[in-house]
Structure 1
């Protein structure tokens, strides 16, 4: 390490210490099953971030998707939350179908989607967005950001990005009753537009009392074939907790 590098590291440590923030990590796994209980794949999640004022703030999130009989991942995802905890940049790759999807931010109010489709075609979308737009796994942080509303049973409106359509749509986060998910708190995110409500099923989410996601039931980003993705019940288990709370 050079003197300049050492100086930068020392400065970073000092700034974190004086701001009440320090580095922390979280890891967890998810097992995706069909309605019949058949295991489809296992997700391995590693999240690095900081504890700020006693609450975990994710910065980088890596996901590996692996079948039980295989030693290596068949798909990967990387999310970067440094710009926003509800609008991460995304790099998703599914080599089996020659598919990739990236979401980046070219300006203050525009995101860019690059989708390499299974058929070999590619599409690019420039999508304007506002502060209430949620992207990909940012929904999890959105739920925790609105944790008091979840506890109170209130509804929260937002917009959710449909990356392969190049548009975001009106959704609502609300309490739910479901035979699919059993958890301390069960909520759903569903579209509010009349047409989309007939085309897109709600995503059912389970959270425990500490604010960690325990269940996801709905459409996944993993392909069943080139024409459709799996719908699955994913149950999560924490391997390593961060050194602070997940909710305010």
Structure 2
């Protein structure tokens, strides 16, 4: 894989941080389960391609873990992910599995360290590597908490950079979040933190509701592949339960 494909792969898997877990505000006294959904549409045709069905589980008012079920147009689950947010919500451990081809990626902690692991297909061996990600480090759905912790600054126009884990490459890449416009909706781009590479790799576009801090819409390359094995380019629209 050449350097450009490697960076593109990093950008593809960064979509996980944008669409995997977008958390609804829950009061500290809340316990139980919260569910919401994201519907993904092909950017070119507008056709529905899959849904993300999120279930968040809370313990003593804190987001303990989530399960995400990816389902096709017929409602059949083809991939799933478990994300554990305690004790570090910006660096959760997680595992994503796609039953169609046996794709697996994840991060676990053992002996005080962090291990990235992944395989592309069921007939390939699992590869893994112990990695110390530089600060500020963000893993998978921890991106949403990174945005929340820096939301006011980002929406005021301050760019925020971080190192994002990419287990499929057993590596990490430096990204940034940059505001594009503000108002009732704060629109921001998730992009590589390199001025030259930003001219080559398109950003991921995110629309957050300013009042609630919730992600409303996402546009860009997906971490989910189509029937041809290539990454889908999608628009994901999120719906949340009424408070």
**Aligned with 2:116 (options 91, 113, 118):** 113
Is residue 160 of structure 2 the alignment partner of residue 164 of structure 1?
no
- 1:142 equivalent in structure 2: 146
Structure 2 runs not aligned, ≥5 long: 1-27
**Aligned with 1:215 (options 200, 214, 217):** 217
Contact residue 119 and residue 168 of structure 2 kept, 8 A:
no
Considering only aligned residues, what root-mean-square deviation do their CA atoms show, in Å?
2.5
Mapped partners of 2:139, 2:103: distance in 1: 19
Structure with greater Cα Rg: 1
Higher relative contact order (CA 8 A, sep 6+): 2
User: 1:81-130: CA deviations, max 9, x gaps?
Assistant: 0131111111111010111122112254x421221222722321221123
Is residue 205 of structure 2 the alignment partner of residue 237 of structure 1?
no
Query: What count of residue pairs does the alignment treat as equivalent?
Result: 213
- 2:198 equivalent in structure 1: 197
Is residue 189 of structure 2 the alignment partner of residue 185 of structure 1?
no
> CA 1:137/1:223 → structure 2, altered by over 3 Å: closer, same or farther?
same
> CA 1:189/1:118 → structure 2, altered by over 3 Å: closer, same or farther?
same
Mapped partners of 1:59, 1:236: distance in 2: 21
What aligned pairs does 1:53-72 form with structure 2 within 5 A after superposition?
57-70=62-75, 72=76
User: 1:51-74: CA deviations, max 9, x gaps?
Assistant: 76xxxx42111100111223x311
Contact residue 22 and residue 51 of structure 1 kept, 8 A:
yes
Mapped partners of 2:122, 2:201: distance in 1: 23
- After TM superposition, give the deviation of residue 139 of structure 1 in Å: 0.9
TM, length-normalised to structure 1: 0.77
Contact residue 118 and residue 226 of structure 1 kept, 8 A:
no
Q: What SS does the corresponding residue of 1:91 show, helix, strand or coil?
A: strand
TM, length-normalised to structure 2: 0.78
Contact residue 26 and residue 240 of structure 1 kept, 8 A:
no
Q: What SS does the corresponding residue of 2:106 show, helix, strand or coil?
A: strand
